[in-house]
Structure 1
Amino acid sequence: MTETGIISLELPPLPYYITTGHTTLQPGEQHPNRRNIGIFDLLWVTQGTLFLGEEDQQWEVTVGQTLLLLPEPYHYAVKPCDTETRFYWIHFDYSGRWEHSVESGGGLPYPIRHAWKNPYSLRLKQYASPFEFPLAERHLRTLLLSTDRRRSESFWHEQQLFMELLRLVEEGYHGEVASPALRLAERTEAYLRQHYQEELTYETLAEALHYHSNYIVRCMKETYGCTPMEYLHEYRLEQAKLLLIKTNWPVARIAEQCGFQYAPYFSSCFKQYAGVSPLRFRKQYIP
């Protein structure tokens, strides 16, 4: 059996739910072999064991485990089931950028939240054991029953349950796979966003997070592709964008509100970042 790392999906767009089914295989039967199906196939085993492969990877997926089969590779049965095996399957589509990383700490970098964007990198362990599998099974039963309802009744409820199931799988990733570096980078990000209006240094970060500043920098670079101060600088400028169009405050007050001690320095940084001065930026949106 082979561990296969992480599937990273860059959001937006969101994954799009298609349908759910339930299959029972008797001893001697097996999952069908397929290739290039063009959609993701998320399997949830509730009884028995599935013996499946994808290209050169092979798994034994047993009760309480999930397997995410990718859209293009060849999927095949390694061998028939040796006991009665039951599993749910979810088909979903995704038109955005995604990546399969063999290393558990790899994948797409986590993005910085911008004033007009709320990007996120969804990470799903391809072969997983979600902590709340009984809750997932209840959601799966509900999804299966909804296939007989009118489309106008079922659409939003199905999408909501599907996103909840993805959340359960991702929680498994963060609980089982997430490295100490990722956890510290997420703590650092949260601290920076909470205290961005204050004067922050690597010394204050080290004191607040109880780690050496060099280690904090390395973790942020691995996770977000930037240093903590680079993240802080961009986040402050994004908050400034919001204040420029949501308030009538003078530039000096906005600079101070966003953690810049000197208005001229803020204006210079803003123009370099946004391509226009703060006042010209405001005029683009306020007549």
Structure 2
Amino acid sequence: MGHSLYDPALMAGAFHPKVIVYYFKQWEDFQMPFHSHAEIEIMYVISGQCVVETETQLISMKKGDFIVLDANTMHRLIVAKPHQCRMINVEFQFTDEGQLFPSLKELVNHDPTLFQLFAKNAPYFVLKDSNEVYHTLKNLVLELDKNSVEAQMMIHLLFAQLMIQIARLAGEAGEAGHQQADVYVKRAIAYLHHHYDCDIRMKDIASVVCIHPGYLHRIFKASMGCTVMDYLTTLRLEKAKMLLTQTNIPVMDISYSVGINSSQYFSAVFKKHTGQTPIEYRKSFKIRRDRTELESRRVTTAVRARSTKG
């Protein structure tokens, strides 16, 4: 018998996750018999759609959905014609074998979202991913495939990251009403901060957040006081200011670095928001910095002179 995800013993000892089974699989016209196992299982839909049936519910899943099944939970997978379903599955247990890495208890004690996850006590839960969980799962499987001592550190780090990401998604999913809208806004903002240097359109952001573009526009403006594209422009300009003042990168290259593929448009937008062109902004910053440094040197010299006289 493996430990349940909610077994109090996990919080009393030094337990660490141990992956037992993992695989990518393309399913087509398939009905799995009802079964259970001692491992906790994560079933993630990469593409297509399927149904996971438990003893009490039929759960429809599509791309980006994943289910976490607690140990010894009866379930089966159904992929009906004409659909196909590509999945990544990871089954794991917790072991108290000696490890140099932080234990599950230590992670839970330092992360409130993990604490809430391990207090959930449900036979399964289904979540919608924004690609973060998938990338971590994929990287985890790649490290597991190496089957080497050197890969163990990365495996443990990735598993800790995976649990925290799942816990955060579970916490977000538990919110309701305007809180759910805030979740969508946070996901949109996170996407913008990770992809501001790309050619981003509203439909791209909405697709990642998994809501209609019009709805995203409304809740984003209500929450942030500006449109999504206004936020993106401000973000890009802040990144540009940093590059202008902290590097010697040419203005044209900075334009491309922040996702604006026209240096002329970049200069026009920059001046509209700052009152200066990028070149003027860089020069004025350099003048202010040089003056500050000069004044600092004068003060230091004066202090040393007074100290010498004394």
TM-score range (shorter-chain normalised) is: 0.3 to 0.5
RCO comparison, higher one (Cα < 8 Å, 6+): 1
Bigger Rg, structure 1 or 2: 2
Give TM-score, length-normalised by structure 1. 0.45
Give TM-score, length-normalised by structure 2. 0.42
| Structure with the higher helix share, 1 or 2 | 2
